Structure 1
Amino acid sequence: MTRRLAMAAGSAALLGACSIIPRGADVPSRPIENAPLPEPTETGLPQDRDRHRIALLVPMSGENGAVGQSIANATTMAILDTNANNLRITAYDTAINPRDAARRAVADGNKLILGPLMGENVGAVLSEARRADVPLISFSNDAAIASPDVFVMGQIPEQSIRRSVEYAREAKGVRDFAVVAPDGEYGRRAEAALQTAVADFGGRVVGSESYARGNTSVVSAMDRLVARGGFGGLLIADSARLATQAAGRVKPGGAGNTLIIGTELWSGDASVTRASALRGAIFSAVSDDRYRRFVDSYEARFGAQPYRISTLGYDAVLLTLRVARDWRVGRDFPVSQLRDSGGFVGLDGPFRFGRSGVIERAFEVREIRNGQVVVVDPAPNRFDD
């Protein structure tokens, strides 16, 4: 057991009987509980006559181990906060071999997989899970991996862009848009999202430029776009640092009327408030109202700050508990109940899964104003259609 995992296991043990079990090459298969345990099965897990077995597939070691551990800690919190006694969640390390992790999860009798974290691992996990009719609720934000038995729970960049375009058209009157985006998958998705949203809300895209990620390249791309001109709204699909470099070419010192539009990548980055070129810029993200309380509770329990993505682990448990009301132990997970049109409410606000299996979230619009990030159009509290 690595020191990092040993510390996490110790923290969980102090919390009480939380029914979270670590499983992997370098962690024990014994439940992290301080209550008397029933007799183990052949797999090493306790007998479960009254609990649903849920697998959590995340990296618990390696480059993304800290992120996976943060998600695992959040699932522990969700069970403790809800006093859930009908779920047993077992964590499997996907860092080395996600397919092997899925194979062990299926062999252990889990009926639902929360994860994996990386969209590129879905194929390997699904190859084992599908044989046993075990669905996935993935933490990825890649809508392309969704299928009848793969639900995508990550925050979808396209939805953030769409929300911002809607606000720019209806509240700011912007009609003509341009985009500067990095080479690669994220940039292509961002540009396509802008094209679709602008068309749906009655505007037009009049220019686009791409670049290899870097200060010089993004500035050159921005200069080419500015030379052509003719746009009132500009989507910069990159981090706050590179967005500041690009925005400085069209709004030096914050002067000018172009509406700068960012993406969900700006959420939580305090540097946006210090960049004069980003004054008046907007971007959309899920509400942080519940997240702030989650952070305080997480720090009190684990002595560290969580990764922002760890709320997905917490909300996945809440979602599973909601479905478990009408789910008999030992039966297949009732996938159809995930498509409740009324949606669910979690730490990141209201959400629901569409027919495609891709999550739909409620986003708020934020504006950078007077050195602060201000909510100018709150996220809706529920879905009306």
Structure 2
Amino acid sequence: MTLVLTACQIGGGPIGLNGPRISGQTVQVAMLLPISGEGGDALVARSLENSARLAAADVANSATIEITVYDTAGDAATAAARAQEAVSAGADVIVGPLRSDAAAAVGVAVANSNIAVLSFSNNTEIAGGNVLVLGYTFANTANRIISYSARQGRGNIVLVHASNLAGEVARDAVRTAASRSGATISATIPYEFSQVGVVNVVPQVTSAVRNNGANAVMLTSDSAGALPLFAQLLPENGLNTASVQMMGLTRWDIPPATLEFSGLQGGWFAMPDSGAAAAFNARYAATNGGAPHALGSLGYDAIRAVAQTAGSGRMGAGDLVATGQIDGAGGAFRFLADGTIERALAIAEIVNQQVSIIDPAPRRLGGAGF
């Protein structure tokens, strides 16, 4: 689910408001999607569009949302050109593109149009100016789980991350979260992103826990990466996961087979509000005949945000920030003034190979963990 890609930093001054919004107006939404993109992008695009149209139907009584889809072909330059076409055609707001390099290009292309770009990326490096990020960010997740860990007395943490861009972004997010919550990162251990790299670093992790008296280990890897190896090798190399709290910066319930790893039993991770997510998934399946892609719910969230901000004229980033809390497919969220996103997340524990919610997602942002 991580869409952290190299992208230019978009600058820009303070985010300003357009003025008061008038409810009940039609909003022209330009949705930039990789319809003809390579790999799995076309599948993601279809799910994002389906979710967006589901949201438009949900808010039909309070706002009229007209969605026009533009094919980016998964290319940043094409996305920028389509965005300019959309603005010329009268778009009030841009939803998409999928990836951060394309979103950065679109932000630059329409920077002088006072139109917000709601990117599906989770790369906070592109946030700011007219670009907002909708994806689940490392910073948001780290703030939630590290603050919870600190409150539970598990604040002496060994941080383990890959020596690549995603790993370094994750590392910085955890460090920042620790400084805010009073937790201590007693050791930071990078590893080469390979099987050999993981095998070689496992003894360093167990030694760091022992030498620093750490009572928690934060793994930033996901199930498609190094997480399964760490889950197996750390206990085999002497880490007592019954006394040292295992924590993750990614979803440990995706895919469900991850829940079966013995080394992750009792481990903590953050996830969206399960009730809201289940309701969205059920409605999506009933309407579209199957489950949404893991990223599909972001399309729903984008249109809910647009509908709640709906008014007359173009929609700037400041308008969306000023809207405040929005009820999305995975619970409450809001945009922050720097273009990033804050989502209400639950803390889950793996108990007997099942997900158990031990600290529910707050209904109002600003509650526990935020």
Shorter-chain TM-score tier: 0.7 to 0.9
The equivalences for 1:5-154 within 5 A come to: 51-62=26-37, 63=39, 64-83=41-60, 86-95=64-73, 96=75, 97-154=78-135
Give the corresponding residue for 1:351. 333
Q: Is the 8 A contact 1:342 1:383 kept in 2?
A: no
Give the corresponding residue for 1:246. 230
Give the corresponding residue for 2:18. none
Residue by residue over 1:311-342, the C-alpha shift from the partner in whole angstroms, topping out at 9 and shown as x without a partner, is 11112111111111xx12xx222543322374
Return 5+ residue gaps in structure 2 as ranges: 1-24
- The verdict on how the C-alpha distance between 1:237 and 1:384 changes in structure 2, with shifts beyond 3 A counting, is closer
Amino acid at match of 2:36: S
Give the corresponding residue for 1:283. 269
Q: Is the 8 A contact 2:220 2:250 kept in 1?
A: no
Residue by residue over 1:197-254, the C-alpha shift from the partner in whole angstroms, topping out at 9 and shown as x without a partner, is 2222223212122223233321211222223332211111111362232133333497
Q: Distance in 1 between matches of 2:320 and 2:171?
A: 30
- The verdict on how the C-alpha distance between 1:145 and 1:267 changes in structure 2, with shifts beyond 3 A counting, is farther
- The verdict on how the C-alpha distance between 1:134 and 1:235 changes in structure 2, with shifts beyond 3 A counting, is same
Q: Distance in 2 between matches of 1:88 and 1:258?
A: 52
Q: Which of the pair has more CA radius of gyration?
A: 1
Q: Is the 8 A contact 2:133 2:339 kept in 1?
A: yes
Please give the secondary structure, in 1, of the residue aligned with 2:350. Answer: strand
Give the corresponding residue for 1:270. 256
Q: Distance in 2 between matches of 1:115 and 1:58?
A: 6
Residue by residue over 1:288-327, the C-alpha shift from the partner in whole angstroms, topping out at 9 and shown as x without a partner, is 3222222222223222321121111112111111111xx1
Q: Distance in 2 between matches of 1:156 and 1:240?
A: 17
Amino acid at match of 1:223: P
Please give the secondary structure, in 2, of the residue aligned with 1:296. Answer: helix
The equivalences for 1:298-317 within 5 A come to: 298-317=284-303
Amino acid at match of 1:174: R
- The verdict on how the C-alpha distance between 1:286 and 1:261 changes in structure 2, with shifts beyond 3 A counting, is same
Q: Is the 8 A contact 2:253 2:355 kept in 1?
A: no
Q: Is the 8 A contact 2:248 2:269 kept in 1?
A: yes
**Alignment partner for residue 378 of structure 1, among 354, 360, 365?**
360
Please give the secondary structure, in 2, of the residue aligned with 1:308. Answer: coil
Q: Is the 8 A contact 1:223 1:249 kept in 2?
A: no
Give the corresponding residue for 1:23. none
Q: Is the 8 A contact 2:140 2:341 kept in 1?
A: no
Q: Is the 8 A contact 1:315 1:346 kept in 2?
A: yes
* Bigger relative CO (Cα 8 Å, ≥ 6 apart): 2
Give the corresponding residue for 2:217. 234
Worse-matched range after superposition: 372-381 or 179-188: 179-188
Q: Is 1:360 the equivalent of 2:338?
A: no
Return 5+ residue gaps in structure 1 as ranges: 1-49
Q: Distance in 2 between matches of 1:128 and 1:200?
A: 36
Please give the secondary structure, in 2, of the residue aligned with 1:350. Answer: strand
Deviation of the 1:260 alpha carbon: 0.8
Residue by residue over 1:320-365, the C-alpha shift from the partner in whole angstroms, topping out at 9 and shown as x without a partner, is 11111xx12xx22254332237411111111111111211111110
**Alignment partner for residue 192 of structure 2, among 212, 224, 234?**
212
Q: Matched residue pairs, number?
A: 331
Give the corresponding residue for 1:183. 163
Alignment RMSD (CA, Å): 2.1
Q: Is the 8 A contact 1:136 1:150 kept in 2?
A: yes
TM-score scaled to structure 2, two decimals?
A: 0.83
- The verdict on how the C-alpha distance between 1:340 and 1:134 changes in structure 2, with shifts beyond 3 A counting, is closer
Q: Distance in 1 between matches of 2:54 and 2:285?
A: 11
Q: Distance in 1 between matches of 2:50 and 2:333?
A: 22
Amino acid at match of 1:78: A
Please give the secondary structure, in 2, of the residue aligned with 1:251. Answer: helix
Q: Distance in 1 between matches of 2:278 and 2:259?
A: 19
TM-score scaled to structure 1, two decimals?
A: 0.80
Runs of 4+ in 1 over 6 A off after TM superposition: none
Please give the secondary structure, in 2, of the residue aligned with 1:205. Answer: strand
Q: Is the 8 A contact 1:165 1:198 kept in 2?
A: yes
Q: Distance in 2 between matches of 1:355 and 1:185?
A: 25
Q: Distance in 2 between matches of 1:247 and 1:295?
A: 29
Please give the secondary structure, in 1, of the residue aligned with 2:55. Answer: helix
Q: Distance in 2 between matches of 1:121 and 1:79?
A: 24
Deviation of the 1:272 alpha carbon: 2.6
